[in-house]
Structure 1
Amino acid sequence: MRLFEVLIVVFNILLIGWILLFKNKSQRGPLIGFGVSAIIMLVHGLVEGMRWPMIPAYVMTALPLVIFAVRLKSKSRLPGEQPARKRSIVKLVLLTLLTVIYSSVAVVLPILFPIFTFNKPAGPYKIGTVTYDWKDDQRDEVLTPDTSDKRELMVQVWYPADAKAKGKTEFYHSEPDIFAEGYSKVFNMPKLLFTAFGKVRTHAIENAEISNAESSYPVLIFSHGLSGTKMQNTFQIELLVSHGYIVVGIDHTYSSTASIFQDGRVAYYQPIDMTSTGPMDQLNDQWVGDAEFVLDQVEKLAANDPEHRFTGRMDMNHVGMFGHSFGGATSVQMVMKDARIKAAINMDGVLYGKLRIPEEGLNKPFLMMSADSSLEALQSTDNSELSDLGKKLMERFDHIADGGNYWMTIKNMTHMGFTDIYLLSPLFQFLQKGNIREAQSLINEYSLDFFDHYLKKKPLRLLEQNIGEHPTFTLQKD
């Protein structure tokens, strides 16, 4: 809960308790208390912004006045009423019970649906960001009926910013209503549950001046999961950028929660048949095309940025890629297909795509991160049809760690634990057996160690030293 949210809830509970339990009060006291409560609520609305989980607390602001009015009225008992003593005891018990129930709801709702914060990035750099709307005139958009449509992508770039950079940090979602609608469609849950994303701020400052601490910075391409977003791994992206990387996030149009183009058009997620490998492999080929196109555009920025921000500042000789789920599979395809990608991380992505990992391995630096629950689901024999599909998909993992690469399996981990989504509510975190913040810290530490070594030539601090079984993960290398 935010500061003024805590203040308004605690003050109102104390105020109601005082009114109920202490009788020798002037009429002026409760009125003053109500006025203070109203002022706190006003400040909260102006500074933090009002939201639906706080509705019970807002109503509690008016409750002291109601109780005060009832008590004034009860001073003159009508003929036929119960004796004052008996009536006052019953009333006190009922009001106390209602106050306890109502106060509990007022406290629990904002706790279950908080305005979460991202951990402050540990690196020395501040974070700048800029967004692009890029159209690939060489590729048709196959996911719409209009044959004249060309593939169009929203791309966000995060970069190390100058230490003196100032400005308001960006919201996690600039169009919260659109994304709440998108999340509602994807998860088949009420839109109201996702409105908190609209009040969450990141650590990125739009159009901040790029840092001059280094002449250039390695580039990382990020590909989200199916129905995800380019900012779905903000916890990880900000950490990498703060340590001196430029991260380029892609919204894979019609496969993302929502793509909002610069002219206001919105492309929501379009479901796909996930029960067979054919359609998934075909869609992945489109995502590989997206990544190649975005990498082409990034090269143009590095050579001659019209805004002069990235000209000469992107180290295109040291480019990596990472992704979650379907984006992780795309990272594997790219590291095999595109010579520009020097190293890649796949976070819990089934290996969809046309290319297969050869027996000798990838022959490029690669780190696979898996959730134990995801591997268990692929190996499950509960359903014969799904079991056959899972067996075929698991065969694609046969040589994933061959050739000196790494495979980390995180224990008590779920597929969506690799993203920001569980930060939205403790209710989602019940799906995650382990602590989500600790899991994200583990992901960040090993992602940074991997890219630092293979793109910045720094000594390995964790990967090589921690092969084997550990309480929270297993790390193997063949």
Structure 2
Amino acid sequence: MRWIEIGLVLFHVWLIGWLTLVRPKSQRGWLIGGGIGAVLLVVHAFVEGLRWPMIPVYLITLWAIAGGAKSFFRSAAKPSSKPPRRRWKTVLLRGVAAVYASVAIVLPLLFPVFSFAEPTGPYTIGTVTYHWTDAAREEKFTEASGDSRELMVQIWYPASSEATGKAAPYLSDPAPYIEGLHELLQLPEFLFSGLKLVNTHAIANAGLADTEAKYPVLLFSHGFMGYKNQNTFQIEQLASHGYIVVGIEHAYSSVASVFPDQHVVKFDSEGKTGYDQMKYSFMDGRNRVWVEDAKFVLDQIETLSANDPGGLFTGRIDLEHVGMFGHSFGGATTVQMLLDDSRIQAGLNMDGVLYGEKRIPADGLKKPFLLMSADDTLKGVDHTGDAEIAELGTDREEIAAYYDELFARYDPVTAGANYWMTFKNSKHMSFSDLYLLTPLFEWMEGADVRRTHELINEYTLDFFDHYLKGEPLQYLDRNLGDHPEYTLQQGAE
């Protein structure tokens, strides 16, 4: 919970206890309690914003004010004798008050406005968003012929220590993303409403830090049905340590994309659902669009480095040191870029099945590579239940073939001394911001998302710091083998 929310909840829990246990008889006590609650509520509304999990708290204020008003009108009327309340009614009232107070505490805890861990790097973080059109590519997902491919791209970067301004919101236009997550994940829309109030550590349009002449650049590719800033927990950490991070939003494959003219495009499944949406024949082809997106964005980064119209990045991007990372389908895209674009020098794939047209050769990628996997992703057909298979609309034989191909594609990932890190008790979405929405996700999935994020950040920084900045390894070469939270293996040279 946020700080004012904590104060608001604590005061109102005390207030409901005082009103039901002490039961002040004069309207003054009720009105003073309600008045203080109302002041706190107004401050909370203007500073932090109202939200639905706090409704039970808000109602306590209204109850106190209404109780005071009732006492006032009763005292103004002719006094009347009133029999004392029966003991069982008093006990019942206090029991109801205790349950209500518990609900008032628990709801904001279960559905918090989450915050990101404080970045550990020495830099302040800046961010800027671009709308880029690839005139050389026709958009395949629109009905009209001749439409060009459009992308929204957000860049995070090490900012000047003198940068000031409000923290940028997590989502600048949250409504389409909330609606899209509701539709695609088939979860109640209220579950995502807190995204409207989440802020980041980044300052919009801040000046670039002048500590270094140039900064290395990392492309980020989100997951299928994800969005460009779905890994803010990781992106902010990288930017605070001196990386320019470029988040690509793959329109029509993201949960939503909102363009400057306010038109919104949503995820296009091409009519595929269930297992059909997992098939290699479909996803390998779909990945071609993502690879072309990444190449185009990297071209645009080169243009910004040569001559940024806003002056922010001109001559400040280190194009000699470029890496890429991604989650899920974005991780697969990272591997394809390592294979297909010489500008990408090192890559990190977070739990991405290796979809795409190219295969890793038996002797490896010939470039530094780290694969991070959730143990749940690697469970295989023997640990896939009948209900899960039925929900996908397929049979065990097809799922067995799917896993056979998955492991065959994974087989050479560590060749050439590359790394494979498997997180224990983790799930596919542990590698994104999603599980921060509510601790219910962690309890249902049995995952410790904050700890997983810490490990991801430690090893992501270690990997890129070594291969793009030339710094000594701190973790990867020292922690090979099996550990309580993960296993880490490295292939032969």
Structure-2 residue corresponding to 1:410: 423
Is the contact made by 2:24 and 2:30 (CA closer than 8 Å) also made in structure 1? no
Question: Matches of 2:381 and 2:170 in 1, distance apart?
Answer: 33
Residue identity (%): 52
Match of 1:208 among 184, 206, 209: 206
CA RMSD of aligned residues (A): 1.9
Is the contact made by 1:161 and 1:209 (CA closer than 8 Å) also made in structure 2? yes
The letter for the 1-side match of 2:461 is L
Is the contact made by 1:299 and 1:316 (CA closer than 8 Å) also made in structure 2? yes
Q: Does 1:360 align with 2:363?
A: yes
The CA deviation at 1:380 is: 4.2
Per-residue Cα deviation, 1:98-125 (whole angstroms, up to 9, x for no partner): 2112211111111111011101110001
Is the contact made by 1:135 and 1:151 (CA closer than 8 Å) also made in structure 2? yes
Question: Matches of 1:16 and 1:309 in 2, distance apart?
Answer: 54
Structure-2 residue corresponding to 1:241: 239
Structure-1 residue corresponding to 2:375: 372
Match of 2:132 among 131, 134, 149: 134
Change (3 A) 1:88 1:3: farther
Match of 2:322 among 319, 322, 334: 319
Structure-2 residue corresponding to 1:180: 178
Question: Matches of 1:77 and 1:99 in 2, distance apart?
Answer: 28
The 5-angstrom pairing of residues 64-79 of structure 1 reads 64-68=64-68
The 5-angstrom pairing of residues 73-222 of structure 1 reads 84-85=83-84, 87-222=85-220
Q: Does 1:59 align with 2:59?
A: yes
Question: Matches of 1:388 and 1:344 in 2, distance apart?
Answer: 28
Gaps of 5+ in 2: 386-395
Per-residue Cα deviation, 1:201-224 (whole angstroms, up to 9, x for no partner): 101111100000000000000000
Per-residue Cα deviation, 1:206-255 (whole angstroms, up to 9, x for no partner): 11000000000000000000000110000000001111100000000011
Per-residue Cα deviation, 1:324-368 (whole angstroms, up to 9, x for no partner): 000000000000110000000000000000000111011100000
Q: Does 1:347 align with 2:360?
A: no
Q: Does 1:297 align with 2:296?
A: no
Question: Matches of 1:42 and 1:238 in 2, distance apart?
Answer: 32
Question: Matches of 1:231 and 1:346 in 2, distance apart?
Answer: 16
Is the contact made by 2:27 and 2:69 (CA closer than 8 Å) also made in structure 1? no
The CA deviation at 1:20 is: 2.2
Question: Matches of 2:67 and 2:97 in 1, distance apart?
Answer: 11
Is the contact made by 1:116 and 1:423 (CA closer than 8 Å) also made in structure 2? yes
Is the contact made by 1:381 and 1:387 (CA closer than 8 Å) also made in structure 2? no
Is the contact made by 2:30 and 2:67 (CA closer than 8 Å) also made in structure 1? no
SS at match of 1:376: coil
Match of 1:395 among 386, 395, 408: 408
TM-score between the two structures when normalised by the length of structure 1 = 0.95
Q: Does 1:426 align with 2:439?
A: yes
Match of 1:437 among 434, 439, 450: 450
Per-residue Cα deviation, 1:180-203 (whole angstroms, up to 9, x for no partner): 111111211222211111111101
Gaps of 5+ in 1: none
Question: Matches of 2:8 and 2:462 in 1, distance apart?
Answer: 44
Is the contact made by 2:361 and 2:412 (CA closer than 8 Å) also made in structure 1? yes
The CA deviation at 1:308 is: 1.1
The CA deviation at 1:379 is: 6.3
Question: Matches of 1:171 and 1:468 in 2, distance apart?
Answer: 40
SS at match of 2:252: coil
Is the contact made by 1:379 and 1:394 (CA closer than 8 Å) also made in structure 2? no
Change (3 A) 1:16 1:263: same
SS at match of 1:440: helix
